[in-house]
Amino acid sequence: MNCGFCKDKENNENNKRIIIETKLSKVFPSNQPIVLGHTIIIPKRCVPNFEDLTINEKNDIFELMTKIKLSLKNSFNCKGFNHAWNENIIAGQTVPHFHLHIVPRKKGDDGIYEYEPRKFLYRPNSRENSPNQELIKIAQIIKNNL
Tens-digit pLDDT profile for residues 2-43: 687 887 565 577 778 899 999 999 999 998 888 889 999 999
Q: Are 37 and 109 in contact (CB under 8 A)?
A: no
Predicted pLDDT of residue 125: 60
pLDDT tens, 106-123? 888 766 655 555 555 555
CATH superfamily of 13-144: HIT-like (3.30.428.10)
Any catalytic annotation for residue 83?
no
- Residue ranges per structural domain of the chain: 13-144
Instruction: Locate the DSSP E strands across the chain.
Output: 20-21, 25-29, 39-43, 80-84, 100-105
pLDDT tens, 51-62? 999 999 999 999
Tell me how far CA of residue 54 lies from CA of 20, 43, 51, in angstroms: 20, 10, 8
SS (HEC) of 39-62: EEEEECCCCCCHHHCCHHHHHHHH
Catalytic residue among 38, 83, 97, 99: 99
Please count the other Cβ atoms lying within 10 Å of the Cβ belonging to residue 30. 21
